Amino acid sequence: QSVLTQPPSVSGAPGQRVTISCTGSSSNIGAGYDVHWYQQLPGTSPKLLLYANNNRPSGVPDRFSGSKSGASASLAITGLQAEDEGDYYCQSYDNSRSTLYVFGTGTKVTVL
């Protein structure tokens, strides 16, 4: 039961910039909790892409960036590459007691 809403899909040509939104509520992102982002390439396990809104783990290209404002967050991919095609998930914490760690609904990025 995802409580973070993402667009089902986004697409762009190689070299373009795409953004993925992640909309939460006052019990998660809006309560001030950080957002992490995960990348899942076809047939693989998810991988931590950004942590604490806009921090890249070692090895993640600086083409990936994030931001957070109010009850929403977003992931931007600049200079889109074919290897970026896959699914992207946001994740945060929820204090509503209906769950604790929540994921977004997921967004499929297609490189045209």
Partner 1 sequence: QLQLQESGPGLVKPSETLSLTCTVSGDSMTSSSYYWAWIRQPPGKGLEWIGSIYYSGRAYYEPSLKSRLSLPLDASKNQFSLNLTSVTAADTAIYYCVRHFVVAGSIPQFDHWGQGSLVIVSS
Closer Cβ to partner 1, 7 or 33, answer by number: 33
Residues 1-40 that bind partner 1 (CB under 8 A): 1-2, 33-34, 36, 38
Q: Which two tokens stand for residue 79?
A: 């200079």
Among 15, 57, 70, 79, binds partner 1 (CB under 8 A): 57
User: With CB under 8 A, what is the number of residues at the site for partner 1?
Assistant: 27
SS3 content of the chain, % helix, strand, coil (to 5): 5, 45, 50
Q: Which two tokens stand for residue 37?
A: 């982002």
Distance of CA 97 to the CA centre of its chain: 23
Please state the length of the chain.
112
- The residue ranges that bind partner 1 (CB under 8 A) are 1-2, 33-34, 36, 38, 45-48, 51-52, 57, 89, 91-93, 97-106
